[in-house]
């Protein structure tokens, strides 16, 4: 008998699945039995190969979310019941010097594409009358301001808000919508921070768990939120940060 965490028979799309957190999420979903389509603007062949090596089922799909409508025709009659919105970019600059081009680029990928991808997924799930799960990747900057990342902060605040409104509207259709706010995770994006002894120490001193998070920490949380075990959880932004925000 399948347990409450099993994803057997489920089909998932994970965006930004070529590396880091997205790759870990794809592998975690596959590890629980889901068929995973790994989407991104670059090839996800490495992720697909790792899933196959672990006897999972996966394929790749090239989608560039610089076009917010890139996924409009992805879900109709394709059997998807899980969507993980992980794709994102960041542009750093003092707010006083931040350009409109950088603002638009970040907003298009991190917020506009997330909404319209989720909208297309939700329409298909409702038409199929199939219970489904959406997991958005938010950020600690869904709660905090940060510095030198105004568009990223605004977009991630927006992700938290969209998670809640879609949860409200779609719960009657059996669709849960949740978000994960990762803390400081060991990925390529944080390599410079981890290699800076003073900055790394300052970060670790604030984390009660006293370690950087692993991408698999986020992967396991996403698999849980997509599973039957979480069917009564919706509209939640779950911090996976080793206690950072509680400090």
Of 51, 160, 163, the closest CA to residue 118 belongs to 163
**How many C-beta atoms lie closer than 10 Å to residue 69's C-beta?**
13
Asked whether 153 and 141 are in contact (CB, 8 A), the reply is yes
| Torsion from C-alpha of 221, 224, 225, 227, nearest 10 degrees | 160
Give the active site residue among 98, 152, 184, 232.
152
Tokens of 193: 């921070």
Asked whether 21 and 219 are in contact (CB, 8 A), the reply is yes
Active site residue 152: yes
Of 78, 30, 81, the closest CA to residue 58 belongs to 30
Mention every residue, 6+ apart, whose C-beta is less than 8 A from residue 175: 122, 125, 126, 131, 132, 133, 134, 166
Q: What is the set of active-site residues? A: 152
């Amino acid at each position: 008998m399948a347990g409450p965490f099993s994803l057997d028979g489920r089909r998932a799309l994970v965006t930004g699945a070529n590396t880091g957190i997205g790759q870990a999420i794809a592998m975690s979903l596959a590890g629980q039995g889901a068929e995973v389509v790994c989407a991104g603007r670059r090839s996800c062949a490495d992720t697909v190969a790792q899933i196959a090596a672990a006897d999972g089922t996966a394929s790749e799909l090239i989608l560039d979310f610089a076009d917010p409508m890139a996924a409009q025709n992805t879900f109709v009659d394709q059997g998807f019941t899980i969507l993980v919105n992980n794709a994102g970019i960041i542009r750093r600059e003092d707010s006083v010097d931040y350009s409109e081009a950088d603002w638009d680029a970040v907003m298009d990928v991190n917020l506009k594409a997330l909404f319209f991808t989720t909208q297309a997924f939700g329409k298909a799930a409702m038409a199929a009358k199939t219970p489904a799960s959406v997991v958005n990747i938010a950020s600690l900057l869904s709660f905090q301001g940060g510095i030198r990342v105004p568009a990223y902060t605004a977009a991630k605040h927006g992700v938290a808000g969209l998670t809640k409104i879609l949860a409200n509207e779609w719960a009657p259709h059996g669709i849960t919508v949740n978000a994960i706010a990762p803390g400081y995770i060991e990925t390529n994006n944080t390599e410079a921070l981890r290699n800076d002894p003073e900055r790394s120490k300052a970060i670790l001193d604030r984390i009660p768990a006293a370690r950087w998070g692993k991408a698999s920490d986020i992967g396991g949380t996403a698999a849980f939120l997509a599973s039957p075990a979480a069917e009564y959880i919706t509209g939640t932004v779950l911090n996976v940060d080793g206690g950072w925000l509680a400090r």
